[in-house]
Amino acid sequence: MLDVLGENSFKVNAYRRAADAIQHLDQDVRAVWQGGDAASPEPVEAASGVKNLRTIAGVGEAIASKLDELLRTGEMGYYRELSEQVPAGVLDILKVPDVGPKTAARLWRELNITTLDQLRAAAEQGQVRQLKGMGEKSEAKILAGLAALSRKTNRRLISTVYPFAQAVIAQMQETCGSAIHQITYAGSLRRMRATIGDLDFLVSADAAHHADILEAFTKLPRVETVNDHGGTKASVIADNGLQVDLRVLEPKHWGCALVYFTGSKQHNIEIRGLAQEQGYTLNEYRFGQNERELFCETEEEVYQKLGLPWIPPELREAAGEIEAARAGALPRLIELGDLKGDLQTHSTWSDGQMTIEQMARAAQARGLKYIAVTDHSSGLGITRGVDATRIKEQWAEIDALNKRLRGFKVLKGLELEIRADGSLDMPDEILAQLDICLASTHTAQKQPKEKITARVVKAMRHPHIDAIAHPTGRLIEEREETALDLAEAMRVAQETGTLLEVDGAVERLDLDEVHIRRLKQLGLKTILDSDAHHADQFETLFYGIHNARRGWAEAGDVLNTLEWAQLKKHLKRNRR
């Protein structure tokens, strides 16, 4: 709202920095406010609360006072004042790709546009191009952005749903204790899809406990609405808007039910077809054969009866997994513990929130043996990136740090911006001295297919560009892929030895599982990275690994499962 109202950038960025610092706290902000006791029912004195909040990096006196007001009263007067000045619909307009605060403000003030429908009508009628500095191209971009926005779904990022699911399981186990034999999530979350529509749980328990378990589920703290509460199933809406279903069943049904409710739908159709070929019927509870009923307490038993080995949930998309299982050719999927290092991380030298040493020690604590610090180059101006002078200063810091670290190595890297014309914003002399260099496109992402492909390919042919980071540039549910011709990029990768990265950031997961599998089919290796800008974000490696598993990746397909001494031999810069 401050941006839309034209407030100075220093003030706007102060709020952004404070918000980011609070998001990455290692404790609840209320605990900081209370002086370390988030459970205390009594609010603190205003002066004490403000003082405590000021210990958070980036939180000054003014913001601390507003936070104190919010935590004491549940409201913030300043926010209310801003809300009265800016129509709510103007903030909706900011959700349209390529529409920033200044444009939204002009549309509101000059054309009185305060809703998405009004914006669409104005663009279709040629009114937007009448604004100074905006023409037919601007209008076409807005219409394309509105179309992209309309294609967004109500699905949630897996990183939002997975921790919620873990919390539900923990609460149910605490509440119901030994009455629960087994409990797990199913559906698209168990298949580890990038986005989740709704959440399904299965509980195995003796029949005498079914009613109590369902009742406990509907009484969970985060349940807002109970939609259905029957004999074997309850359906609720959680406080995050997610529909959550729980089914309770006897242990003898567990195997068949878990296969069925995990899906996918097409995978289930195929295994039911297999059962029919062998004289069985198969549903979510049992096998049937003539008058007999056959029960399976584990998934392994279900697949065994079909003459198959167990198929990992990530592969159950009817994409050849049954044929591979029949042929004994299922991959041994990569696991998180296979990773030895992370080759895309960011620090306070560009847009990261932690120092290089903090990032290194956090990675080491997670069991990694090396990271590459790949701060952005200065060509991406919004990230306070490094130039040819600053990067040498960064190298000196890395050299000093490596002398202090034991059993861990920090690599000298860079995420280099590929300019709109395909040129690079760092001299070859610098690029040649790096341990690894990633190149990426953050700007001019709306270029047509031929232009953006030529731009990326030109970078791939450079002798010191080792990998293309997050190649398609997608942001899940926010920004569509660029028009990059990935088939051509993969052909050039084969020719040049340039790697195409799998970015594990949950909003990217780029490359996706389809393209990861294509890399594997072509015999191309990849690297799988966190793109971490804060120590907490090393967690994204978990989601990146499952994305790779969905692409049938094995440890041997991902180079940073190797020790650095072996990995560096595979980089283009070190090949002979």
Q: What is the pLDDT of residues 75-112, one digit of tens each?
A: 999 999 999 999 988 998 988 877 889 999 999 999 99
Pick the CATH number of 156-249 from 3.20.20.100, 1.10.3720.10, 3.40.50.970, 3.30.460.10: 3.30.460.10
Alpha-helical regions (H) of 56-203 = 61-73, 77-85, 88-93, 101-111, 116-124, 136-150, 158-176, 187-190
pLDDT above 90 (res 383)? no
Which secondary structure element, helix H or strand E, spans residue 529, and what is its range?
strand 528-529
pLDDT at position 36: 73
By the 8 A CB rule, do 445 and 480 touch?
no
By the 8 A CB rule, do 472 and 502 touch?
no
User: 88-150: same fold as 9-85?
Assistant: yes
pLDDT above 70 (res 38)? no
pLDDT above 90 (res 137)? no
Average pLDDT over the chain, rounded to an integer: 93
Residues 6+ apart with CB under 8 A from 14: 58, 60, 63
pLDDT above 80 (res 387)? yes
Residues 6+ apart with CB under 8 A from 273: none
Characterize 484-511 residue by residue with b for buried, 16 or more Cβ atoms within 10 angstroms of its Cβ, and e for exposed. bbbebbbebbeebbbbbbbbbbbbbbbb
pLDDT above 70 (res 56)? yes
What is the fold of 88-150?
DNA polymerase; domain 1 (1.10.150)
CA torsion through residues 262, 268, 272, 275, sign: negative
SS (H, E, C) 401-453: HHHHCCCCEEEEEEEEEECCCCCECCCHHHHCCCCEEEEECCCCCCCCHHHHH
CA torsion through residues 84, 85, 87, 92, sign: negative
How many C-alpha atoms does 79 have within 13 Å on its Cβ side?
A: 10
Q: Which residue has the tokens 């939204």?
A: 104
Burial group, residue 313, by CB count within 10 angstroms (0-12, 13-18, 19+): buried
Domain 336-574 classified CATH 3.20.20.140?
yes
CA nearest 160: which of 570, 550, 540, 576? 540
pLDDT at position 389: 95
Cα separation, 100 vs 105, in Å, equals 9
Domain 255-326 classified CATH 3.30.210.10?
yes
pLDDT at position 74: 86
Give the pLDDT band of residue 370 (cuts 50, 70, 90): very high
Residues 6+ apart with CB under 8 A from 18: 56, 58, 59, 60, 63
- Structural domain spans, the chain: 9-85, 88-150, 156-249, 255-326, 336-574
pLDDT at position 381: 63
Which secondary structure element, helix H or strand E, spans residue 344, and what is its range?
strand 341-345
Q: Does residue 238 sit in helix, strand or coil?
A: strand
CA-based radius of gyration for the chain: 27
- Rounded to 10 deg, the angle between the 388-404 and 356-365 helix axes is 40
Domain 9-85 classified CATH 1.10.575?
no
φ and ψ at 172, to 5 degrees? Answer: -65, -40
Cβ atoms within 10 Å, residue 43: 15
